[in-house]
Amino acid sequence: MSLKMRIGLMFSGALFLVAIAAWIYQLKEGLILTNLPNSYSWGLYISGLAFFVGNAAGGLVLTSSIHLFGVKKLKPLAKLGALTAFANVTAAMLIVLPDIGRPIRLYNLLLHPNWMSPLVWDVIVLNLYALAAAVYLYILMLPELTGRLAWLAITVDDPRAFSDRWARRMAPVALLFAIGIHVVTAWIFSTQGARDWWFSPVMAPDFVSVAIAVGTTVVLVAAALAYGTGEKYQEAYRMLGLIIFMATCVHIFLMANDLVIHAWYGNAETHRIMAVAWGDFGLAHVFEVAAPLLGAWLLMRPQILGSLPRLLLNSGLLIAGVFVHRFLIMPAAYNTIPMTMAPFGLPDSHWSLPIASGRLLPGMSTFLDQYGYFPSLIEIVILLGIGAYAVFLVVLAVARLPILSRERS
């Protein structure tokens, strides 16, 4: 194991342990440690869920497409794609636990599932996706499970032929899972008719497009760090850059299409939502559009792909823009109270129904009709720690398992 890998494992492992300590502290004190009042029930944790699910979906879309369409130039990256998919989907499942508050009560979901709820289906799809990614990665590694790793290998006559055959057979199923995991996650939001900001059929295909963009970027970053930016892998990197740019353009189009329809034909409530989105978070919305678009465009340029610092910088720009996009799912939905009442004497008027904040703080009204949410330190530490867990898992697997191609120079 190289010194860089050791440092990466130490740093990411330490940050994950800090996050575990922060979560234990939150379990002891309760969700009051977050900045989430009654009226704003989903925040950074659920934004993190959507973000990690996107990273995971994109990784397996890439890996399954390699074997489904026979793109040989990308085959050295197939195992990296499956590995990053597994790491991110398990991170997505972990980030949900702090948001629940009392995760021990998850047994109720198993004993008394509400099959009409997208949340139940999301739990099922997340677990099936994690299993699919793990099995797919195992199948791809099978021919190289020799020596000290031979005990992990199943006995077959020709491991390489077995691996290639089953990788092709599993590719359509893996691709279906990769798309399904993000569609179901999008349904959690878009089926909530009371939240006009989310109530749109565009959300599911938009989630898929941005997942392909950011998930492929994660694979590109992992490949560049593992293989370097030499000429040997430049053709593969250029193909990834093109996929990232096209998926980003589709995402920007779908998002702009939804915003234009909301602004043009929306009712008064919709216009209030747009005022929150563009008034209070205008600069953030500009960043969520400009950063991924600029980053994706630059990742198609050879001089960027040939330089590791530039590649990492522009990949980070795209990933940061997508994360801001995930975070901005929340404010416009929660900063408008969907419940209204008609005051006496004003039958044509509708006032937001006041909702108790659930906490008494100096300078803040007990009842809210709008709330300026910003994550607490506990929320930020836990999210960063879950991200560090995904990094730790990827680095450890690359160091201990035959993830990288043997053709590496």
Closest C-alpha among 169, 206, 210, 182 to residue 126: 182
What pLDDT sits at residue 40?
Answer: 81
DSSP H helical segments within 142-233, as ranges? Answer: 159-190, 203-227
Query: What is the helix (H) or strand (E) element at residue 356, kind and residue range?
Result: strand 355-356
**Contact predicate 226/5, CB 8 Å:** no
Tens of pLDDT, residues 164-206:
899 888 888 888 888 888 888 888 888 887 777 788 888 889 9
So what's the pLDDT on residue 20? Answer: 96
Instruction: Sort strands 367-368 and 355-356 into parallel, antiparallel or unpaired.
Output: antiparallel
- 39 touches 143 (CB < 8 A): no
Residue with the two structure tokens 């969907």 = 338
Q: What is the DSSP letter of 173?
A: H
β-bridge pairing 367-368 and 340-341: unpaired
Beta bridge partners of 201: none
Report the pLDDT value the prediction gives residue 201, as an integer from 0 to 100.
Answer: 86
Has this prediction a pTM greater than 0.85? yes
Cα–Cα distance measured from residue 22 to residue 20, given in angstroms and rounded to the nearest whole number:
5
CA 280 → CA 47, 335, 372, 376, 407, distances in Å?
18, 10, 9, 19, 52
Dihedral sign computed on CA atoms, order 46, 47, 52, 56: positive
3-32+43-336+373-400 CATH pick, 3.30.70.360, 3.40.50.300, 1.10.645.10, 1.20.1630.10: 1.20.1630.10
> What H or E segment, with its residue span, contains residue 341?
strand 340-341
Confidence at residue 181, expressed as pLDDT on a 0 to 100 scale: 85
Confidence (pLDDT) at 89:
93
Q: How far is the C-alpha of 328 from the C-alpha of 205, rounded, in Å? A: 17
pLDDT number for residue 408: 40
**Which tokens go with 54?**
């996107």
State residue 259's pLDDT score.
80
Q: Say which DSSP state 111 is in.
A: H
The stretches in the chain having pLDDT less than 70 are 266-269, 336-354, 357, 361, 363-366, 368-370, 406-409
Q: For residue 366, how far is the Cα from the chain centroid?
A: 34
In angstroms, rounded to a whole number, what is the distance separating the alpha carbons of residues 117 and 204?
Answer: 16
